[in-house]
Amino acid sequence: MQSSSQKPLSLAQQEFLDRALRVNQAGELAAVLIYDAQTPPIVRQNPQLKDLMKHMYDQEANHFQTFNELVAKHRIRPTLMYPVWRVAATALGWSTAVMGREAAMACTEAVETEIGEHYNRQVQTLFKWAQDVEAKGGQVSGEMKELLGTLRRIRDEELEHLDHAVENDAKEARPYEALTGVIRTGCRAAIWISERV
């Protein structure tokens, strides 16, 4: 049963976690579909990238599964935009892959930059909550510790993908600013919408 030594979560905390996990699940869905759509055209033109694409896809699939389990476990409503994000992510992955390897890597770079910042903010918030609890002499619950650990690990893996993308000539894409600008704005809009809808 529940440990009664813990205080109830405030409404603000519950809302934060509700939104955070919903957005994270939507984000990983998009990531999985982007890699899925990018892989066939990219690997055809650049067979040397096959292992890298598979490695990144496997990690994203693992993240997606993690968040699916968390969303089900904590009874969070998934985003209503699920089918819309499915189409949008597949379209984004496919179109950047058809534009070329550099464009696909620039897409990955843009998405991972936004996602990395987004996870980092979540980690900071959860870390601050943990610090507040400990400052008052309490003990951080196992649930919060686990959540914090999971988010940290996933953030680090997303930043690793960002590094891989840059190593593979993401910055050589043309038009670099326009492409990454549009994708980053799109990501931010999608995050904002998924938090609420």
Which listed residue (66, 120, 125, 141) binds other proteins by CB under 8 A?
141
User: Do 60 and 36 meet the contact criterion of CB atoms below 8 Å apart?
Assistant: no
Is residue 69 involved in binding other proteins (CB under 8 A)?
yes
Is residue 142 involved in binding other proteins (CB under 8 A)?
yes
Contacts of 66 (CB under 8 A, 6+ apart): 28, 150, 154
Which listed residue (74, 128, 174, 188) binds other proteins by CB under 8 A?
74
By CB under 8 A, the residues from 8 to 67 that bind other proteins are 8-9, 11, 13-15, 17-18, 21, 25, 40-41, 44
- Burial of 132 from C-beta contacts in 10 A (0-12 / 13-18 / 19+): exposed
Q: In angstroms, give the least distance from the CB of 77 to other proteins.
A: 6
15 vs 177 by CB, closer to other proteins? 15
13 vs 159 by CB, closer to other proteins? 13
Is residue 133 involved in binding other proteins (CB under 8 A)?
no
Q: How many residues bind other proteins (CB under 8 A)?
A: 36
Distance between CA atoms of 197 and 193, rounded to whole angstroms?
Answer: 6
Distance between CA atoms of 136 and 146, rounded to whole angstroms?
Answer: 20
User: Do 11 and 187 meet the contact criterion of CB atoms below 8 Å apart?
Assistant: no
Is residue 150 involved in binding other proteins (CB under 8 A)?
no
Q: Is 63 annotated as a binding residue?
A: yes
The DSSP-derived string for 71-110 is HHHTTPPPPTTHHHHHHHHHHHHHHHHHH-HHHHHHHHHH
Distance between CA atoms of 93 and 106, rounded to whole angstroms?
Answer: 11
List residues near other proteins by CB under 8 A: 2-4, 6-9, 11, 13-15, 17-18, 21, 25, 40-41, 44, 68-69, 71-72, 74-78, 80, 82-83, 94, 98, 141-144
Which residue ranges are tagged as binding site? 28, 60, 63, 112, 158, 161
